[in-house]
Amino acid sequence: MIDKSFIKDHDYYMLFGYNSKEYLTTGDFSESILGNYPLILDKRNLNVYRVIDLLNEEIVLDKMIELSLVKKICPPDGTSLSE
């Protein structure tokens, strides 16, 4: 069940949490779902990503660039900054 207390809505994406109905109703931690990392909904293509999938720094940066959260800066010759 979507945790309505944990929804962050942005222009291009939405970040939201989820948990069991029992936990959200009672607040009893023993009823919570373990490992329920937040989800990211890309509003442009409706793809959903688990934040755990994005823990690799390079993947996070690529996803942020894709979601237009940061702009990729390249030297004038078009080479990558990491080269």
Q: Give the pLDDT confidence score for residue 56 in this predicted structure.
A: 61
pLDDT score recorded for residue 82: 46
Cα–Cα distances (Å) from 77 to 62, 66, 80, 83, in that order, read 20, 22, 9, 12
Backbone torsions φ then ψ of 7, nearest 5 degrees = -130, 125
43-59 pLDDT tens trace: 888 888 877 655 565 66
Phi, psi of 75 (to 5 degrees): -60, 160
| CA distance linking residue 50 with residue 61, whole number of Å | 15
Alpha helices of 1-83 — where are they, by DSSP H?
A: 21-26, 57-66
The answer on pLDDT for 10 being more than 90 is no
